[in-house]
Structure 1
Amino acid sequence: MPKILQLTPFVLCSSLQKQIDFYCNRLGFSCGFQQDNYAYLSLGSLAIRLLECPQRDDGRPLGEDQSFYIDVDGIDELYDSLRPELSDLSEGRVRPPFDQPYLQREFHVIDEDGTLVFFGQDIRPRD
């Protein structure tokens, strides 16, 4: 049986360079490859693929219908480490850590094209 290695979502963007800067400078990703309208970014064992696309005909942000979830350990420490780089984003683009009824502690960040990035940690009681 083949071994499945990882899931790397495509994140559509209107400006490849703006998104590379956002993910690398604000969220700590590294750009491993960039060419024309495509970039591969990684952070630890996860990765995303940025794809620059034309604007939508209706003017809505490209990322408006996109989101992805990053499971982490140490959610509050991660948020505290990213807070300086997130502090100057416009109101509504960052939601600080909070507990969800489905027993995840999360914080949310909206990227340059409206993609919602969830960071979450399992907070179920341990036996």
Structure 2
Amino acid sequence: MPKLLTSATVLLVRDVHASADYFRDCCGFKYDRFWGEPPSFCMVWRDHLCLMLKQTDQHDMIVPNWKVEEKLWDAYFWVDDADALYEEFKAAGAKMDYGPCDQPYGCREFGIQDLDGHDIAFGQDMDTSAAE
């Protein structure tokens, strides 16, 4: 049976260059090119996971999910060490939204905001029974 290999969240942004640089400089993502003429699309990668950034001139259409539904993220990444990643991002100047904290659904988690107000969470599964 065919397998799904990975996924990517698409975020609408005001400035694709500034957004890509934010994820590179503050969150350790990498990118190697922009698409479009003028450039309006970029994929930023970290550890085989991707965020797609699409610049739009319709700034009123950039609506982070938390503005529609309280405390709802725009993207969520599972990680192996939430505390260490939080410290890395904080030291690099990421805009910290919350955390790290233990959630009732079994994740140690923190969140950041990007330049357009999107909430992006990073959670570590605290259920160690799955590894036994």
1:30-59, Cα deviation, whole Å (9 max, x unpaired): 013312100011001201111001234xx4
Residue matched to 1:71: 78
Alignment of 1:30-109 (within 5 A): 30-35=30-35, 36-56=39-59, 59=60, 62-65=62-65, 67-86=74-93, 89=95, 93-109=96-112
2:8 and 2:49 in contact (8 A); partners too: yes
Identity of aligned residues (%): 27
State whether structure 2 residue 120 is matched by structure 1 residue 117. yes
Give the Cα–Cα distance (whole angstroms) in 1 for the partners of residues 53 and 63 of structure 2.
Answer: 11
Give 5+ residue unaligned stretches, structure 2: 66-72
Give 5+ residue unaligned stretches, structure 1: none
- Over the residues paired in the alignment, what is the CA RMSD in angstroms? 1.9
Give the Cα–Cα distance (whole angstroms) in 2 for the partners of residues 68 and 39 of structure 1.
Answer: 16
Q: CA 1:75 to 1:8, structure 2 compared with 1: closer, same or farther past 3 Å? A: same
Look up the SS of the partner of 2:50 in the other structure. strand
Size of the aligned set, in residue pairs, is: 120
Look up the SS of the partner of 2:75 in the other structure. strand
Q: Residue type of the partner of 1:80?
A: E
Poorly superposed stretches of 4+, deviation over 4 Å? none
